[in-house]
Structure 1
C-alpha cells in the first residue's frame, strides 16, 4: 500500500510540474498539439500509478520526453513563422465583409449551426451585425462587428476618462499581502486606520480588501458564522 501511495505521489507531482512548465493556457486555448501532449501525459502518468508491475521509470521517461518535445515545438512556433503555420495552422475567415464564406466553412467542417452558436456566445444574435468572423487556430471564434453595431466608447463621445489601473488586493481571507501593500505605497498603519473606518478592528475579520488606482480602499468583511 505504501508503495502505491509513494508512486502515485511521485507521478502526481511530476505531472503537475510538467503541466506547469508547459504554460498557463486553459484547455479551450490549447493548440491541437498541446492538447494531445496534455492528454498523453495524463495517460502515461496513470498507467504506472495503477500497475505496480510497471517500473516507475516507464512512466517518468515518456512524460519527460513529451515535455521536451512540446517545449521544442513551442520554441519553433515562437521563432519561425513557417514553423508556426505548420505546427499550429493559420486562422480561417468564415465571414468576410458580412458574407459567409461557404468554401472556408466546408474546408474547416464548420456548419452554420456551430457558427450561429459561437456568434451567440459572443453576444451577436444577428449574423447581419458581423463584419468579420475568424476561426482561430485553437478553435475559438473571433468576431469583429460592423462599425454601426460596435459598443460606444469614450473616444466616440470625445471624452477623456481618468486612468483606471488594476486594483491591488492587500488583504485576502484575513492575511495581509505586505508586498502588494508596499507596491501601493501604503503601510500597515494606514491599512489599520482604514479598516477602523469600516468598523473592522482586526485584519483577520476581512475577506477581501483592495486598493484601486485612485487610492480608494474596497473592503468586505467575512460573514459571521452562526
Structure 2
C-alpha cells in the first residue's frame, strides 16, 4: 500500500507540473494537439497506478517525452505563423456578410441546426442579426453581429467615462491581504479603522472584502447579508 501511495504522489506531481506548464486553459479552449497531449498523459499516469508490477519509469519516460514535445510545439506555434497554421489550423468562416457559407459548414461537419443552436447560446436567436461567424482553431464559435444590432456603448453616445480599475481583495476568509493594500498605498491599520467606522471591530468577522478603484469598500460578514 505504501508503494502505491508513493507512486501516486510522484505521478500526480509530474502530471500537475506538466499541465501547469501547458498554461491555464479550460478543456474547451485547448487546441487539438493540446487535447491529445492531455488525454495521453492522463492515460500514461493511470497505468502504473493500477498495476504496481509496471516499473514507474515506463510511465514517467513517455510523460517527460510528451512534456518536452509540448514545449517544443508551443515554441513553434508562438514564433512561426506557418507552423501555427499547420499545427493549429486557421479559423473557418461559417457566416460571411450575413450569408451562410454552405461549403465551409459542410467541411466543418456542422449542420444548420447545430449552427443555430450555437448562435442561440451566444445570444443571437435570429441569424439575420449576424454579419460574421467563425469557428476558431479551438472549436469555439465567435460572432460579429451586424452594426445595427450591436449593443450601444458610451462611445457611440459620446459619453465620457471614468477609469475603472480592477477591485483588489483586501480580506479573504477573515485574513487581511497586506500585499494588495500595499499596492493601493494603504495599511492594515487604515483598513481596521474603516471597518471600525462601519461597526466591525474584528477583521476576522469578514468573509470577503474588496476595494474598487474609486475607494469604495465592499464587504460581506460571515453568516450575514451583504452590507
Asked if 1:216 corresponds to 2:200, the answer is no
Q: In the aligned structure 2, how far is the partner of 1:47 from the partner of 1:195? A: 54
Greater than 3 Å deviation, 4+ residue runs: none
**TM-score of the two chains, using structure 1 as the length reference:** 0.97
CA drift of 1:184 comes to 1.2
Structure 2: tracts of 5 or more residues without a match:
none
Alignment match, 1:112 = 112
Q: Deviations over 1:3-40 (max 9, x none)?
A: 11111111111111111011101111000000000011
Structure 1: tracts of 5 or more residues without a match:
none
Alignment match, 1:131 = 131
Matched position secondary structure for 2:160: coil
How many aligned positions are there?
224
Alignment match, 2:204 = 204
Q: In the aligned structure 1, how far is the partner of 2:217 from the partner of 2:126? A: 42
Alignment match, 2:17 = 17
Which aligned pairs between 1:1-226 and structure 2 lie closer than 5 A?
1-223=1-223
Matched position secondary structure for 1:142: strand
CA drift of 1:198 comes to 2.5
**TM-score of the two chains, using structure 2 as the length reference:** 0.97
Cα RMSD, aligned residues only: 0.8
Q: Deviations over 1:39-92 (max 9, x none)?
A: 110110000111110001111111111111111111101110110000000000
Matched position secondary structure for 2:47: helix
